[in-house]
Structure formats: structure tokens, C-alpha cells
Structure 1
């Protein structure tokens, strides 16, 4: 039986920052905040894990999810919707009625 070598701390942090950056690129407020919350939650679980085999499997799963997240972010940017009231800035209240894909 071969020993499982978990990914390095640098690789995990790099994947974490890339995942956060990708989640933050969603134009939709609800999707953006959902994926940011989910990414942070997933990496907290990975941080608390001590079994090298489980760390490796969770890391591999996170890499696959990042690829899906990137594709989803691109589609979300292409088909952006209306800005929500929570996204509006106080100095431009009328801007909320414009579509973000125009």
C-alpha cells in the first residue's frame, strides 16, 4: 500500500484564492454570495482535516468544482440580470432599473 501525499499548503491556498476570485466574478448578487459562502465553508472543512487521503480527495474534488465554477461564472456574466436593491449605490439609485448585460 502506497502512502498518500497530500497537496502542499501553497497549492491549497492557491486553489482557495482562485476559487474565491472566481466566485466573486459572478454578476448575480445571489450566486456570487452563495458561491463565496460555499467556498469558504468547503476550505474550512479541508483545514480541519488531518487524514492525508481525505485531504487529497477533497483537494481533487475542489479542483473539479473550480472548473465548473469558472464555466458557470462565464455563463452568468453573459446573461446578467437586473441589479438588486442591495447592489445599488446611494448616489445612483436610478441605475437599478438597467440590465447588467447591456
Structure 2
């Protein structure tokens, strides 16, 4: 079970705290607060970095990869941060 505390900027999984960078936290918050919305890499970059996107998707890819390595049981088969091929990312279905 993944929990995010917006007051103290912590994330925990099964009761164990996970250390995230500020950008990783903001990406996860963006996706979790809008669970059905698919965000393009451009949208994620613009919203999280508060900067214009110049086509360098590597920054978003690296942060998503690092985030998955920290929160997913199996980062190659993610359930929290889902890739929508050809479009971008969305949060997974939580039950």
C-alpha cells in the first residue's frame, strides 16, 4: 500500500518511508491527484519544472525511472506509474 502525505512531503509503502527527490514527489503527486488523466512528457515537464519544454524528454524519463525504482515492486512491470505508449504517463489503478 502506497501512501503520500502532502503535509510533510513523505511517501511510504507498507509502512516504510521512501525517500524521494522533490521532483519525484511532485511527479507522483501530479499523477495520483489526477488518476484518470494521461500526461504527456511535455505536460509533466512544464508543470513540474515550471519551464518551457524544448523537446528534451530525457529529464522526465530519468525521473520516472528513478521514481519507479523506488516505489514499484517490479519497476519493469509498474502498477503505480503506468506508461501510455506514444502519449505519456498516468497513475495505475489502485484497489
Normalised by the size of structure 1, how large is the TM-score?
A: 0.26
**Higher percent of residues as strand:** 2
- RCO higher in 1 or 2 (8 Å CA, sep ≥ 6)? 1
Bigger radius of gyration among the two: 1
Q: Give the TM-score normalised by structure 2.
A: 0.28
